[in-house]
Structure 1
């Protein structure tokens, strides 16, 4: 079983990774979702869900193997303490481990220069430039729901389904027509009206 890590903060946007974590944890996917946070204290999502992290950055063994790091947005990204995850993102980029970030987690990546060399998106280009003053990747910015470029997936805050589709494709959990059908089901529903 391969691990996928989801970085959580107090105030994480639980729905932004909800579609993809449910698919990754299905029997037969080959993956298991594990959570990581800056410490081992229980984190409360924007929706009030309380999650005890599987791992903390304080005791994390960086030799642990995992296939992807997923970073949801939420209200915690303006807190200085959550910037500690930069060390884990550095390791991912050094080792070629895919990083998938949505909403304000893309702003975190922009602030630390991770977007400068990759095609990416975020909540909007003006927002990214305002909230991440160190951001220098405007030439690589794409106005899209979700963008996948090499080992980086980024999405705006309204794109949980597109974000999930790109992650499922990157990890080869669903492919081709099956992935398209999954996306259509969650984007359009059962009813065609």
Structure 2
């Protein structure tokens, strides 16, 4: 079973990976969701959930075990200690492992050059440029809820459902009508026939 790693920081936006994590952890998908952080100390989400990471940066899985790295946004992506996450992102990029980032995690990616050559989005271009002084991906920025280009999926902070849809499609968990139905339910809710 391949692992989908969700990178956690203190103050992570707990809802941004929740839609997709629940689907990926269902029996029969071939995936299991595991958490990773810079260390194994408990991480407390914006909503107050305390999570003990499965892995830290020293003992993450081998590239043959990892199907994708998902990076939720949150309140701590500009903290110096979280810049260590660059090592796992670099590892994934070097081994052609998809990386999916949402909200301020896109700003983190932009600051480290990971958005310089792929179409991407974030919490507006001015926000991205202000928060990531080393960002050089202006020409690839797309105004959209979520953008998928090759092994990179990015989304703005209000695009968690679109972000999840791209991840489910990239990992081949849902497709076609089943994916459209899933998206419709979570985006628009149930409506009488």
Normalising by structure 1, we get a TM-score of 0.97
| 1:91-134 Cα deviation digits (max 9, x unpaired) | 11111100000000000000000000000000000000111010
Question: Residue in 1 aligned with 2:112?
Answer: 112
Q: Distance in 1 between matches of 2:53 and 2:150?
A: 28
Structure 1 residues 54 and 64: alpha-carbon distance in aligned structure 2, compared to 1, 3 A threshold: farther
Is 2:135 aligned against 1:130? no
| Aligned partner of residue 76 in structure 2, secondary structure | helix
- Change in Cα spacing, 1:22 to 1:61, as seen in structure 2 (3 Å) is closer
Alignment of 1:44-123 (within 5 A): 44-60=44-60, 62-63=62-63, 65-123=65-123
Q: Which residue does the alignment assign to 1:38?
A: 38
CA shift in 2, pair 1:13/1:142, >3 Å = same
Match status 1:160 vs 2:166: no
RMSD: 1.3
For structure 2, the residue ranges without an aligned partner over 5 or more in a row are none
- State the match for 1:144 in structure 2: 144
Shift of 1:5: 0.3
Give 3-state SS (helix, strand or coil) of 1:144's partner.
Answer: coil
CA distance in 2, matches of 1:57, 1:64: 16
Gaps of 5+ in 1: none
Number of residue pairs matched?
193
Q: Distance in 2 between matches of 1:142 and 1:172?
A: 24
Q: In terms of mean alpha carbon deviation, does 61-70 or 31-40 score higher?
A: 61-70
TM-score by length of 2: 0.97
Determine if the alignment matches structure 1 residue 3 to structure 2 residue 8: no
Partner Cα distance (2:7, 2:165) in 1? 19
* SS in structure 2 of the partner of residue 161 of structure 1: helix
